[in-house]
Structures are given as C-alpha cells and as structure tokens.
Amino acid sequence: MLKDENLDTHLLRLIQETCGQSPNTLERQRGLNQLVLLIQKSGKLYQDHHLLPIDYEDALQKTWLYFCRNLCEAVTAKNGPYDAEKGNIFTWLNAYLKKRILDAHLASQQAKEMIVSPRLCDQGNIIDPVENIPNPKPSENRANKMLTKIQQWLQSQEKRLSRIHLRDRPEINAYVLILRRLPPEETTWETLAQEWNISRSTLANFYQRRCLPLLQELRDQF
C-alpha cells in the first residue's frame, strides 16, 4: 500500500489523466474503475459499524455512483465541491458518504416508529402504523425492505395469527386484518367495515388490542 502522501499524489495524477479523457469513452471508464479500486483498497473511506451491512453497502453504492457521475465536473468547476488544494479525494467522498449514511439511519428510525408506535387521532380512533408505510417505488428501498419483512413474518405466523379473531367471527382475524391493511393494496377501515358488516370502532378496537401487540414483535427485526 502506498503511503498517504504518495497515495494522494498518485490518485490526483490518475484523476487528472482520467478526466482528461473524453466523456463516455472506454479510457475514462477504465480510469474511473481504477480510481474506485484504489480508494477501496486504501481503507480510508468512512465506516459506520452501527448501520446494518446491507444499508451501509447501499449508501456506499450511491456514493460510487455519485463519484463516477460527478468527479470530472467537480474537479474542473470553479469553486466546485472537490478542490485538491483544500482537501484530498477522501475528504470529498466521505462528506457525501456520511450524508447517505445519515439518510439510512433516519429511514431505519422512521421504519421502527411506523411499526411499533401506534397513535390516536383526535376522536380516539386508532391510526394504523402500517398505514404510514409509503407505497413502494423502485427508489424506495427502505419501504420495500420493510414491506417484505412484514409479509415474511405474516406468512410464517399465518396459523397463529388466524386463530386470533373476533368472537364468533373467525374470518376477522389478525392475519387477514394486518394483511388487508398493507400497501400498496391497503384497504380502508370504512371498506372493511362495510365488507364485514361490522362497525369501524369494533375493528379499530380489535386492531388496537390484538394486532398492535403482534406487530411489536417485529421491533427487533428492524
């Protein structure tokens, strides 16, 4: 491994050579790939051991994508985000990586709160925590992971959850109710009440007393 001073000099020279190539050429792509490999081997990228490995890798991949798309523009821009005289390439990269890690931490915390933090509206009706999960889009990795986790949990606990139901109404059980409330096909309380010919308050009370404690079992999995 090169010493820090030699590494910085080597990287700076390689950056200049790479950005001297025309955009979208094989030569520039090779230079970017070589830069990524050298930076990875340096061990100088910011680490966060409190973040799940999959989330850290996601933040790192976003950082590499940003690096490859913006490096040459950042180098050549006047007063741009990367100034070799003010800091080396690691200063620039780690600043961006830390922002993506912070995003991951915030998303993780929001996921926990949406699962385990039931709230009451002004009228005392239960607000479903899973109702706050956004409909998943391709860019919403956290929402997709959270939904997948809940669906896997429901599948593994289907028999147990199906036995937890309203008196004399086995079709209105914890498994079905939680499943029907999940996005993207989430069913409104009003629709469920009409479908099952039961009051909305009865459904909400059952959900509060029996379903919310079950959802709290997911706390340690997020």
Angle at CA of residue 79, ends 77 and 81, nearest 5°: 80
Q: At what angle do helices 4-19 and 89-116 cross, to 10 degrees?
A: 90
pTM beyond cutoff 0.75: no
Q: How far apart are CA 200 and CA 166, in angstroms?
A: 13
pLDDT digits (tens, 9 = 90+) for 161-189: 999 998 889 999 999 998 888 766 678 88
Please give the average per-residue pLDDT across 100-125, as a whole number. Answer: 59
The distance in angstroms from the start CA to the end CA of the chain is 38
pLDDT at 187: 81
pLDDT at 85: 55
pLDDT digits (tens, 9 = 90+) for 31-69: 998 999 999 899 899 988 777 676 788 888 888 888 888
- Checking if the pLDDT of 219 tops 50, the result is yes
